[in-house]
Structure 1
Amino acid sequence: MNSTSMLEQMTYEQRYLIHQAMADLDPQYDETAQLLVYSSGRHNVRESSHYLIGLLIRNAPGDVARACDIIERIIDNQYDLPDEIYHGTFKRAPQEPNPPCGSLPWKSFAPGFAYFLDTTLAQISAELSQGNKELERRFQAAVDHVLPTVWTTYDPNWREFIACDFAAVLAYFEELLPAELVRRMEASMVLAVRGSIDRRRSDAIPMNTNIELMHIFICDFYGHRLNNPAWIEHAHEEAQRFYESFVEFKSFAEFNSTTYYSVDLMALGLWRACGKSESIRAIGREVELGLWENIALFYNAEMANLSGPFTRGYEMEMTEHSMLGVIFFLVLGRGYEHLVVPNVESASDPLLALVGFQVPEHVKPYLLQHQGDRQVEKQFRELCERSKPGENTPLCTATAWIERDVMIGGMAGSLNTSGQLHPATLYWKTEAGKLYTMRLLRREPGGRWGAHYRGITYNAKAEKDQLSVQVQFDTPRELELFFEISGEQLDSAEITDSFWRLPGLNLEVEANAPSPVIVQRDGGLEIVYPYQPAAGTIGQMSFILKRVQT
């Protein structure tokens, strides 16, 4: 497709996104490195891959040449080491060192071996360090020096993200590219798809929903393009397996996640716009419909947010660390520009504008205005990517109470070790229109809440005016369990053991827990409950937060 006039032919919403994204990304381009660069001086390979789509859509003087340069540099940063677990993926930045090589014959191990390796190394670390954090750190550094440690020394998901970008480039803009560059892209995609399939079959690194959807797409797309029947067959098998898991509860493992729902919708948009197999596209249409229905179930148009709980979350605002606000703008149109907030995911906006989205008519009213107060309950099977194979898809129940100015969320049944799990959430809006949020998190003292910890589980339930939470600790680690409350003019003096007086909301608190420490921070406060492990015991805390009128 010739894109000379593509931008002019796009809708207002598509053009708005392209212009805003490129205004943000153009200044980040490093002419010397031919990649995007951040203020830290670190270049970003994946975001550069997203950026080149915007260049090809705009097709202003010099844009195609710049896009071609970026493609060359991206491929220069791909790993071509067939025996390594990171074969076919890409460096996150040219500056990062190569992962260790030759120390992990991973293809000779049984599926799921990574769990047993991870837990064994954790046990060795605990035995060696005896609680000494510096020894723990040094042991982990030694492991990372010898073994390729996923997420630390490499990111396997860059295969799928960049392969999707390249697929869009080849589907829409191939005629703008030199033939030799197209051949180099195809050779690169052979490495990426082979590496992705090897990962999937080995289950060495389980795929979360968004990666699984992209994996199916790239196997189908490149299987047809490169005439590889085995890849096509694999795509069909994986699509059917995904569909069968979806229809059990019509829900995703990455449940109610604003960050990953937006990637899911992007991937399903690629299935619809660029997919090669009609049977896979048909599955995609049904799954996309079900995803929109899930979004509508937990969405509150008055607050422009999903209610929670979240299996994987970074921020409480839908427009932060997420493309979901952008997608809502594309489907709702003029008047919803406020949902387009530049964030760490904004480099993907050109691809979102390109593939477009289809919202079922019966869902759209929920996106436009509050459809009445409601109690929501939905089951799903989560993926605990660091849990024992065969025992890593527990059944969970998400509950929510949603009214115009208050949303409460709770999750029960999760065994997720990730700090991205938000099992208990609360949103409210004051009469003056100020939005406040609360979420339950955990961390080691002085640590960060996003880390993985085994041995802490939650059971939470949301009801009208009430959030109940039970927390169980089976870990030798000292931890801090804390409610993080965000918003303006929060006063720690208004927090007691049994009553939290907050702007626009008062909560009676029944807590079976130590007395909390109140920490005032910029933009909010934390109500921190320390957990001190006792040898041979399982600790518990419980909370009932009741909304009261005063």
Structure 2
Amino acid sequence: MGKFLSISWFLVLLRHTAICTAFRHVRRYDTLNYSLNLLHESMDWMDMFYDADAGYLYSLDAAALTHETRSSVWYASGLLARNEGDDAEQAIKIIQNVISGQHKNVSSQWFGDYQIYPEEPTVGTEQYPPKIYNSWDPNWRGFVGTTFVLMLEEFPELIPYDVQEYMLESLYNTSIGDSYRVGGVNDDNLYPAYSNPSIMRAFVTGWVGRRLNESNMTAAGEKDAKDVIALFTRANTLSEFNSGTYAGVSLYALTLWAKYMPGTSLMGQHGASMIKYTWTSLASLYNANLRNVAGPWDRSYGYDMNRYLSILALHMWTLIGKEKAPINAKPYAMGHKNDFAIGPLVAILAPFHNSLIDNSTLNSLISFPGTHTVETSAFSPPYDTYPRNITAWLSPHLTIGAESFSENVIGGPAKNPNSFNPAVVQWQRQDGSVGWLTLYAQVMELIAVAGEKTLNLTYPTGNSTSTFSFLVGTNSKAGKRDVSSWDDVEGVKVKVIGTVGPEYAVTFNGLVGGAGEPINEFEFWNFTYTMSAGSAEIPQVLLEFELI
């Protein structure tokens, strides 16, 4: 094991082994081996994409042998953790390459950010105009910056002094560039409610300020953290609520707060408790039988965690093992597979992060505790006019979750109806697979209440032109291939009543045909209800569910 791990991380793992030993009277799983397993598997996969001549990973989307930046940095962290052969040498090569490609025009909005891929043209030229979240992604400052800090904290003995100085210079520039971000200005959306990059920006800025004795930078990090904490402590929930992907990123970033920031920092004071409360919320919504977190999901890249790779599931891998987590035996075959590249970071931090998780939470991830309801809320100003009210009903094989909201955008704070899922139903089919239904976001205001086997939805400001579109997952291999009514949906009986007309349209969105394309790589059937022509009633539907 000494050959596999750097000394600093090995000592951390030994300390955590002692912690696990202290809990032998309860059902605590082997975090040490699970973390190493995640590190091994994610690195084995990325090894296949590494171009040692270029010092970058090839694109994980196999984009004609171009390379990519963010996953290369994540891979470099894994190289330092693994530290076999010339791993450290290759990590240093990647670090130097990425920093050399950092955007250096101090007057540009993307100053201090990192290239999406090294072959791209210069951002801001006539032929390659700047487009936020396309030709440049401001969140990559946080992803790359936090990874650099983790490397400097965990593996300083493997990084030459001059490279450490180069990294600190890069971190200083990325912190300056991140200070350019103001929600609502220049198409930027970095408000405190944008949880995952807000938490990362606060950390990198505060850490760099302390490391370089830059008091203004330290203060800026504390101010960012204060704003994030104020939103969180209102209901002990992330504003970016219940996201399989971004709750995973937020937990990663909060672990950096808790592990590396001093007690004099708000981040050091609140990081651990925010991790605990976030896991308490997630565990209350998790159904271990379905291996899914019940809805609603503010930002989701899929509808069944067993079929798309979520960063939250990687955390769960380190807690309860791959076989019990919502991870396929071949993670790289899942939807949104590229996030497997963050595996080394999750694995490196897992011994510390997992020591903060209480046994009640852990047990909920292992076995479903029984039928129960959840009521909570989350708040994302300036998009929400009031906090989103969240209700969920969970039973052994059927979960229903929904949130009421009034917002000034369609598609949630991310303005993306394809990822915003305000009402979700999931059920277990006879073969053990998961069926699902989600309301496609089409309105700025929704009253949604999840109850025992029911989902009640109202558009308070709707009219006769309003429609309710329910995306329904395709059946299992044993189910019907063709769906024309609710009777053809496998595993559940659905009754729909309300002010909508009794007739509904059913269309298919498929990989190679149908009425449209899949969403987040998932095929689905679209059940659409409309109001009767000229109706003056408020649009409302009540769905009742029975497992069959």
Q: What TM-score do you get using the length of structure 1 for normalisation?
A: 0.80
Note if 1:410 corresponds to 2:393: no
Post-superposition Cα deviations, 1:305-349, rounded to whole Å, max 9, x if no partner, equal 110011111112335241111211212248536637342211111
Q: Percent identity?
A: 23
Quick one: structure 1 residues 425 and 31, their matched pair in 2 at CA, closer, same or farther if it must change by over 3 Å? same
Q: Deviations over 1:427-481 (max 9, x none)?
A: 1012432221222226xxxxxxxxxx8x654432211111122358989x99993
Deviation at 1:250, TM superposition (A): 1.4
Residue matched to 1:484: 472
In structure 2, distance between residues paired with 1:297 and 1:396 = 17
Local SS of the residue matching 1:519? strand
Secondary structure of 1:344's counterpart equals helix
- Report Cα offsets for 1:391-441 as digits up to 9, x if no partner: 556421111110000011112115223221101111101243222122222
Instruction: Confirm or deny that 1:18 pairs with 2:39.
Output: yes
- List aligned pairs for 1:89-108, cutoff 5 A: 89-100=113-124
Q: Secondary structure at the match of 1:258?
A: coil
Secondary structure, counterpart of 2:111 in structure 1 = coil
Q: Classify 1:478/1:308 alpha carbon distance in 2 versus 1 (closer, same or farther; 3 Å).
A: closer
Gap runs ≥5 in structure 1: 102-143, 384-389, 443-452
2:258/2:270 contact within 8 Å kept:
no
Aligned to 1:272: 258
Give the structure 2 partner of residue 51 of structure 1. 75
Could you tell me whether the CA contact under 8 Å between 2:291 and 2:325 is conserved in 1?
no
Matches within 5 A, 1:155-166: 155-166=137-148
1:323 equivalent in alignment to 2:344: no
For residues 540 and 48 of structure 1, what CA distance do their matches in structure 2 show?
A: 52
Task: Give the direction of change, closer, same or farther, for the CA distance of 1:509–1:44 in structure 2 (3 Å limit).
Answer: same
Q: Distance in 2 between matches of 1:97 and 1:473?
A: 46
Distance across 2 between alignment mates of 1:49 and 1:249 = 35
- Render the CA deviation track for 1:63-117: whole Å, top value 9, x for unaligned: 111101101111122111111111111111123333326xxxxxxxxxxxxxxxx
Q: Contact conserved, 1:275 with 1:281, CA < 8 A, in 2?
A: yes
Structure 2 partner of 1:510: 497
Distance verdict in 2 for CA 1:99–1:485, change over 3 Å: same
CA distance in 2, matches of 1:60, 1:322: 28
Q: Using the TM superposition, give the Cα deviation of residue 482 of structure 1 relative to its aligned residue in structure 2, in angstroms.
A: 4.1
Higher alpha-carbon deviation: 155-164 or 433-442: 433-442
Counterpart of 2:518 in structure 1 is none
Amino acid at match of 1:226: L
- Report if aligned partners of 1:381, 1:395 keep a CA contact under 8 Å in 2: yes
Equivalent residue for 1:371? 369
53 and 300 in structure 1: CA distance in 2 versus 1, 3 angstrom threshold? same
Q: Give yes or no for the alignment of 1:546 onto 2:544.
A: yes
Figure out how many residues of one structure are paired with residues of the other and give that number. 486
Residues 1:145 and 1:398: Cα distance change in structure 2 (over 3 Å): farther
Residues 312 and 158 of structure 1: CA distance in aligned 2, closer, same or farther (over 3 Å): same
Mapped contact 2:384–2:406 kept (Cα < 8 A): no
Match of 2:348 among 335, 345, 354: 354
Structure 2 CA distance for partners of 1:439 and 1:282, relative to 1, 3 Å: same
Residue identity opposite 1:332 in structure 2? I
Indicate if the aligned counterparts of 2:145 and 2:171 stay in contact, CA closer than 8 A: yes
1:180 alignment partner in structure 2: 162
Partner of 1:134: none
Counterpart of 2:173 in structure 1 is 191
Aligned to 1:42: 66
Cα deviation for residue 369 of structure 1 reads 1.3
Code of the residue aligned with 1:19 in structure 2: it is: H
1:18-417 correspondence to structure 2 within 5 Å: 18-38=39-59, 39-40=62-63, 41-100=65-124, 148-200=130-182, 204=186, 205-207=188-190, 208-279=194-265, 280-318=267-305, 320-333=308-321, 336=324, 339=327, 341-342=331-332, 343-356=337-350, 357=353, 358-383=356-381, 390=382, 392=384, 394-415=386-407, 416=412, 417=415
Give the aligned partner of residue 461 of structure 1: 449
| Superposed CA offset, 1:283-319 (max 9, x none) | 1122112111111121111111110011111112335
Per-residue deviation, 1:246: 1.3
Q: Over aligned residue pairs, what C-alpha RMSD do you find?
A: 3.2
Aligned to 1:428: 427
Secondary structure in structure 2 of the residue aligned to 1:404? coil
Which structure carries more helix by proportion? Answer: 1
Amino acid at match of 1:402: L
Q: Return the alpha-carbon distance in structure 2 between the equivalents of residues 395 and 334 of structure 1.
A: 35
Instruction: For residue 91 of structure 2, give the secondary structure of its aligned residue in structure 1.
Output: helix
Given that 1:408 and 1:467 are in contact with CA atoms closer than 8 Å, whether structure 2 keeps it comes out as: yes
- Provide closer, same or farther for how the CA distance between residues 210 and 329 of structure 1 changes in structure 2, counting only shifts above 3 A: same
The alpha carbon displacement at 1:267 in A equals 0.5
Tell me the equivalent position of 2:514.
Answer: none
Alignment partners' CA distance in 2, 1:378 and 1:189: 37
- SS state of the match for residue 339, structure 1? coil
Cα distance in 1 for residues equivalent to 2:80 and 2:385: 41
Q: Secondary structure at the match of 1:484?
A: strand
Deviations 1:206-243 (A, max 9, x none): 32101111111111211111111111112222222222
Distance, in Å, in 2 between the alignment partners of 1:334 and 1:529 is 38
Measure, in 1, the Cα distance between the counterparts of 2:452 and 2:147: 44
Shift of 1:173: 1.4
